[in-house]
Amino acid sequence: MAIENGTYIKLNYTGTINGVAFDTTDAEAAKNANIFRENFEYTPAIVKVGAGRLLKGLDEELAGKEIGQEYTITLPAEKAFGEHKAEEMKAVDKKAFDHKPELFERLTVEGREGVVVQKIGNRYIVDFNHPLAGQEVVYTFTIIEEVTDAAECLAGTIKLITGRDMKIGTKHENFVSVEVPTMIAMYNQNWFMTQYLIMQEALELFPAAESVKFVESFPRPKAVEEPAAEEKTE
């Protein structure tokens, strides 16, 4: 059965540039490429086909593919991370930095993330292109199965968007709940926009729900025991 746009699927994939993996759902591939993340669970990604949450070229290739078959595709830069644009190379005065930048240091300046590529007098040339811009990308992927459970679809979408696992509550008829990791807003500067995207997905998956509730718990800090005072000896 060929997959159609709008279908939720479990997808295994590995993206490579010049034979080196940079993005993968496979733990061994991540280890071999030295991109393994200890606290990340390497499992097939749950993806809504055609929703635009993957690279453009990869997302476009999923519709029409068969479950269980392995595919390999090559994406030109414009359908991957974009062309490398000269206008995204900016000269920034040294006063804009809070420290003396090192060459090839990745940092945030003027609200954007870039890489320092050159120093000319009192100015630094910062490249604001995506680090993989201008590169041809190869993806190998397999569609494992179609996913139909709404809670599983929502949880998978959240993990795809945020990289975090969040528990979905569906016991109440009027709302869907999402358990949010503690202090996530501190680590995700775009959390309010992310919440909006999750809310839209949840209301689409659960048409009977009237609202979406984000539940964040703050555990009581553990008391720090003071070390016992050493006994004095004469």
> According to the model, what pLDDT value does residue 188 have?
75
Report the C-alpha gap between 83 and 12 in whole angstroms: 26
Kindly report the CATH class assigned to 149-218.
Answer: alpha beta
Query: For the chain, what are the domain ranges?
Result: 1-82+133-147, 86-127, 149-218
pLDDT for 85 beyond 90 = yes
pTM for this model (two decimals): 0.81
| pLDDT bucket at 129, cuts 50 / 70 / 90 | very high
pLDDT greater at residue 55 or residue 231: 55
CATH number of 86-127: 2.40.10
Fold of 1-82+133-147: Chitinase A; domain 3 (3.10.50)
150-162 vs 191-205: helix axis angle to the nearest 10?
Answer: 160
Share the mean pLDDT of the chain. 91
> According to the model, what pLDDT value does residue 233 have?
52
Nearest to 133 by CA among 118, 113, 108, 119: 113
The per-residue pLDDT for range 145-158, each reduced to its tens digit, is: 999 999 999 999 99
- Sole residue written with tokens 């499992």: 43
| pLDDT bucket at 1, cuts 50 / 70 / 90 | confident
Provide mean pLDDT across the span 71-88. 96
Which tokens is 219 given?
A: 């555990």
pLDDT for 21 beyond 90 = yes
| pLDDT bucket at 173, cuts 50 / 70 / 90 | confident
> According to the model, what pLDDT value does residue 183 have?
82
